[in-house]
Structure 1
């Protein structure tokens, strides 16, 4: 084969290879957008069902109530004043014991001076005696105030007459206890004097008029 023929054959072969390569490149370029579009097509998302979570709460056993030992129960304060709905209820709640000398003196004054008066009037007489004992101007005790010379006409020779233990005496004792315990507010608070008249004593301020007595300070 001559040089020219060999050269022509080589050239033809190169041209064929170049054409084949060009055809392959063009085909790939044409198919590429379709492949990209196909890959970009959205696929439906399948929802995943998640089962609900159950929580277990352990309930603690209930503790039985513990009974309080009476030995450790709080004690009532001896100084606490009981609230009564009425003066009559306060009087009725008192016992009849008279083992205290000051109580007997106070009850004696109530009995002799006001046993026919309403309960409020009897309490007011007791209030006068206790106010005097606390004033610093009279004797310092109920017995001292009651037996002080020239103060109460029922006192004989510095002593209080004996009293039969009848219903009025028991009421006088109960009223005296109410007064000494300060279990009811008297209408004659701060009064230091009383009399059976309606005319005011000179120089005194009238506090209250209860039953047949007028009270002053």
Structure 2
């Protein structure tokens, strides 16, 4: 009786093994035929839990953890006050200092009047002479003897010869002279570079000799302009 039971058990074991092998082979066959859709390489990438540092129960409780990397976008840098000071220290002359500054896209009304005076009155002068003209406009706007705004100073009657009929002539805004004048207006307005004629309220071309000049204190001559206080 015991031999029959043992024989039956052996036959049962062989049958079960055959079913298992058939199932495995069938699965492989289906995989080869494209019927198994899940492919290990296409599964989401997760952070593995170290088996040496965590028990199996902890690993089950924790589950797969998806790792996300922060997206960092670069922020465009704008010139700060410290940057401008560093540029001023590094520059040995006004030309170098001017070259280190960006051209402003636009100017407000007052700075446009100041840049216009630089452009029309002195665009043919050296940079120091152009800055000196700009600083005269700035000094006049700060003096009680003159209008209190740059536009008021520039359009004051009988002061600047380029103003005719209360209007400023056309400016070639694509020219390098205008781009330079805009920079110089910014520098003069903020007093970022010292002028040889600092404090001057008047100037004239060196080929004229106006009577009023004899009553003034001469400060400097820069190329074709003489400056007075």
**TM range, normalised to the smaller chain?**
0.5 to 0.7
Tell me how far 1:89 sits from its aligned partner: 2.4
- Structure 1 residue aligned with 2:17: none
Which residue, 149, 154, 166 being the options, matches 1:158? 166
| Kept after mapping to 2: 8 A contact 1:81/1:181 | no
Correspondent of 1:144 among 133, 149, 152: 152
What corresponds to 1:109 in structure 2? Answer: 117
Partner in structure 2 of residue 210 of structure 1: 222
Aligned partners of 1:196, 1:121: CA distance in 2, in Å? 11
Deviates more, 1:194-203 or 1:105-114: 194-203
| Aligned residue in 2 for 1:88 | 95
Q: Distance in 1 between matches of 2:182 and 2:148?
A: 20
Q: Quick check: which has more Rg, 1 or 2?
A: 1
TM-score (norm 2): 0.58
Distance 2:142 2:176 in 1: 30
CA drift at 1:81: 5.9
Q: How far apart, in 2, do the equivalents of 1:211 and 1:122 lie?
A: 10
User: Does 1:134 find its partner at 2:142?
Assistant: yes
Spell out, residue by residue over 1:61-101, the C-alpha distance to the aligned partner (whole angstroms, 9 max, x if none).
xxxxxxxxxxxxxxx98599625122112222142322311
Q: CA deviation at 1:162?
A: 2.2
Show the 5 A alignment for 1:39-188: 82-83=85-86, 84=88, 85=91, 86-92=93-99, 93-165=101-173, 166-188=175-197
TM-score calculated relative to the size of structure 1: 0.61
SS of 2:135's equivalent in the other structure is helix
Gaps of 5+ in 2: 1-78
Q: Which has the higher contact order (CA 8 A, sep 6+)?
A: 1
